[in-house]
Chain A
Amino acid sequence: EAQVTQNPRYLITVTGKKLTVTCSQNMNHEYMSWYRQDPGLGLRQIYYSMNVEVTDKGDVPEGYKVSRKEKRNFPLILESPSPNQTSLYFCASSVRQNYGYTFGSGTRLTVV
């Protein structure tokens, strides 16, 4: 089944403790992206990647890092999480830019 898989689905962590949210897609898509969803703000792009080793900032990149060493994987790294990063995070992939995303099921992160 074609899908984008994120892990974990739920995560509670403490301020400052590094964490990684994994994202993997099995559709051989070149384009991958991370979004965060907050009430009343819709979805905002954190980082995107157009291909292996090609990444760039979205609208809200502060406090996040990403890497794209393999085509299928696009992990999101929070080096020192803070409470304002409490949010619902989505990974998404697309066969090419602007074609329409396939989204993962989301990761609900709480930073206390």
Chain B
Amino acid sequence: AQSVTQLDSQVPVFEEAPVELRCNYSSSVSVYLFWYVQYPNQGLQLLLKYLSGSTLVKGINGFEAEFNKSQTSFHLRKPSVHISDTAEYFCAVSETGANNLFFGTGTRLTVIP
């Protein structure tokens, strides 16, 4: 069965420091991968997606993620975070041709001034 694991439920980081939010998935077939961000009291916003091609994907707000098929991972990174990056981040995966999008349980990123 397909599943998504976000290993860290909370990640505190100082402003202007780099951050990596980890995501691993389990699937035996080709997948599409997504990262979403949820700011307080708002819906989810698509940060970036991997559908095919280059394994390094750049998204909005300076975020990027790298698809590693052998490690079944899709970790999200930012070289220098801002206070405004404080939010909850969700990794999601869908098998190609499937109708469902499976979400991880989320990682709460807190940027400390």
- Could you list which residues of chain A lie within 8 angstroms of chain B, going by C-beta atoms? 4, 33, 35, 40-45, 48, 50, 56, 58-59, 90, 92, 97-106
Contacts and interface: CB of A to CB of B under 8 A. Distances in A.
Contacts of A102: 46
Contacts of B94: 98
Contacts of B106: 42
Interface of B: 4, 32, 34, 36, 41-46, 49, 51, 90, 92, 94, 96, 98-101, 103-106
A105 B43 contact: yes
B90 A43 contact: yes
B105 A41 contact: yes
Contacts of A48: 99-100
A104 B45 CA distance: 9
A100 B103 contact: no
Nearest to A48: B99
B37 to A, nearest CB: 11
A44 B45 contact: no
Contact of B105 (A35, A40, A56, A103): A40
Contact of A90 (B44, B49, B98, B100): B44
A82 to B, nearest CB: 23
B103 A44 contact: yes
12 contacts: A42-B90, A42-B103, A44-B103, A45-B101, A58-B100, A59-B100, A101-B46, A104-B43, A105-B43, A106-B41, A106-B42, A106-B43
Q: Nearest 6 A-B pairs (CB), nearest first?
A: A103-B43, A43-B103, A42-B103, A42-B105, A103-B44, A100-B46
Given A98-B32, A98-B96, A103 B45 contact: yes
Given A42-B104, A56-B99, A58-B100, 14 more contacts: A33-B101, A43-B44, A43-B90, A43-B92, A43-B103, A45-B101, A98-B32, A98-B51, A98-B94, A98-B101, A103-B36, A103-B44, A105-B43, A106-B42
